[in-house]
Amino acid sequence: MPVGVVASTHFPVWKPREKDVKRYFHFDRYVSPVLAEKLANDPHYVATHSFFPLIRFHESWTKYRKVGKPRKKKVRPLRYAAHLDAIIFAKYRADLASLYENELARRNLADVPVAYRQILDEHGKAKSNIEIARDVFSVVRKLKDCVVTVVDIKSYFESLDHANIEKQWSNLIGGTLPADHQSVFKAVTKYSVVDLDKVEQRLSLLGTDINGVNRKSRRLRKIDVLRREGKKQLCTPQEFRSLIAGGDPAQPSLIQKNGFPFGIPQGTPISDLIANFYLIDFDEIMSQWAQALGGIYRRYSDDIVVVLPRTSVFSPDEPKLRLQTEIRKHGSKLEIQEKKVCVGEFVTNGLGIEWRHISGTSSRNGLEYLGFEFDGMRVKIRNSTLSNAWRKMKRQAHGHAFAFVRHYRDKGLSWIRANYPHASLERSILQDVTFHQDTGYDTWTFVKYARRASHCFVGFHPIFSKQTRRYRYFTKIMIAAALEEAITKVKPRSP
């Protein structure tokens, strides 16, 4: 520890949870829970710890599209930290999270930022995105004639100003960042990354198995060989320095550093909390403004919804303009995506209230929020949410069909068709498909999610059962089609 460096000592002892201790391959070894607890709770160690680069890969998927519209692929960069780095991030996230919750309570903002937090209902149970969406729709029903504005902050994580992060971080801990906090702050702002595919090439982690029965099985990853041989990390420290960090003059460094005064990586254990507390002043300003007008303001990370009585604004665009003006005061790179802005209103009619879309490309048929759509008369699961579930179901059906046909190809076509477990597979697929709508609920099944939503939205005339019933019907067709495709491509042998 350098002379004169002060480290924080006033935080309680932190114990890692099971999910805090990672087991994936990275540049360092797996860290046991005992060692993790010891090192993460030592501020002097953290203050001088050298963080490894994050490993980056890209996740891609085809977005939901309406009939006749072209397919559009979305790519999202994801990054993950080395074992000990992730543990340190998790420890400091836990420390800051408790301070953040206290600050939210002090500012009367406990219900305003709704992402990445545990928000309790009146019975002490944690709310999911279902209950959070219901709360917003309930405000709409109470106000009746109201203006609704939904906006999205463009490239939110990549636009967070480092000076404001440090300011809000310092406010939470009540003073200048001590050396250990400064170390973590620098690691998440002046972060560095390496691309996974380049690491695999440089370390020769992609190879072939000449004994494989087909082209796909012959393509064997050497990383899998490392795992089978009991290796604990991608490479040795010496290999990291020479092959990854540029120690060998013949091998240029693969490390890319963030040299900008803004931007944090998505994927570290502390990134979500920073994304929350970064806008605490903005949240307070906008929430107080909305409350003063008799409405509400809510933020789910980079997604914002404002509901105001129609008589409280001169124009339906007023909330949008206020959001666009205010957000610029909290970071030079922050801006509301104009193409993702939706402005609409609910108006009373003879039967109750109805949705009227005013501008924007989303929420054309009803207010879309956290996976649900409300048109004033009924609530349904959004088409894009169901599309995501369908994509997972289709992937699982095809994987099972090809594995089954390959395994039993010698038994012949008739046996395969007669013994394929259609019913059990249908049940398994409908149960296993999960919804990743909120932290802590990523193990919910398709059926359980729809059932809980139905119970939660009693009185809103939900049509979830009608939507899921259609999916059950099409699941049968999908399973049969996947089997036929597998039979055509694998070509089982005649008995």
How many whole angstroms separate alpha carbon 59 and alpha carbon 146?
38
How many whole angstroms separate alpha carbon 219 and alpha carbon 217?
5
How many whole angstroms separate alpha carbon 358 and alpha carbon 347?
12
DSSP 372: E
**Longest distance between any two alpha carbons in the chain, whole Å:** 80
What pLDDT is attached to residue 362? 83
Backbone phi, psi, residue 177, to 5°: -65, 125
What pLDDT is attached to residue 71? 65
Backbone phi, psi, residue 280, to 5°: -65, -35
* Amino acid sitting at position 400: H
What pLDDT is attached to residue 361? 85
For 334, 430, 447, 475, 478, the CA distances from 400, given in Å and listed in that order, are 45, 14, 20, 13, 12
For 140, 311, 343, 386, 466, the CA distances from 392, given in Å and listed in that order, are 33, 45, 32, 10, 20
> Taking the CA of residue 286 as centre, how many other CA atoms within 13 Å lie in the half-sphere pointing to its CB?
30
Question: Which helix (DSSP H) or strand (DSSP E) does residue 95 occupy?
Answer: helix 83-106
How many whole angstroms separate alpha carbon 87 and alpha carbon 90?
5
3-state secondary structure of 78: strand
Percent of the chain beyond pLDDT 90? 62
What pLDDT is attached to residue 435? 42
Of 85, 5, 3, nearest to 40 by C-alpha is 85
What pLDDT is attached to residue 68? 60
Look at strands 353-359 and 342-348 and give their pairing.
Answer: antiparallel
Percent of the chain beyond pLDDT 70? 87
Show me where the domains of the chain are located. Answer: 18-180+269-377, 192-257, 383-490
Q: Which residues does the chain have with pLDDT short of 70?
A: 1-10, 61-69, 71, 206-226, 431-447, 494-495
Burial 102-120 (b: 16+ CB within 10 A, else e): ebbeeeebeebbbbbbebe
How many whole angstroms separate alpha carbon 386 and alpha carbon 392?
10
Cβ–Cβ under 8 Å, residues 143 and 304 = no
Give the global pTM.
0.83
Give the angle subtended at the CA of 474 by the CAs of 470 and 477, to the nearest 5°. 160
How many whole angstroms separate alpha carbon 55 and alpha carbon 83?
12
How many whole angstroms separate alpha carbon 80 and alpha carbon 93?
15
- Say which residue the tokens 């012949």 belong to: 412
Would the CA dihedral through 166, 36, 194, 256 be positive or negative? positive
What pLDDT is attached to residue 438? 38
Strands lying side by side in the sheet with 372-374: 367-369, 372-374, 379-381
How many whole angstroms separate alpha carbon 172 and alpha carbon 181?
12
What pLDDT is attached to residue 392? 80
Residues in the chain: 495
Cβ–Cβ under 8 Å, residues 374 and 137 = yes
Alpha carbon distance, N-terminus to C-terminus of the chain:
73
How many whole angstroms separate alpha carbon 473 and alpha carbon 467?
10
Would the CA dihedral through 273, 277, 278, 284 be positive or negative? positive
What pLDDT is attached to residue 210? 42
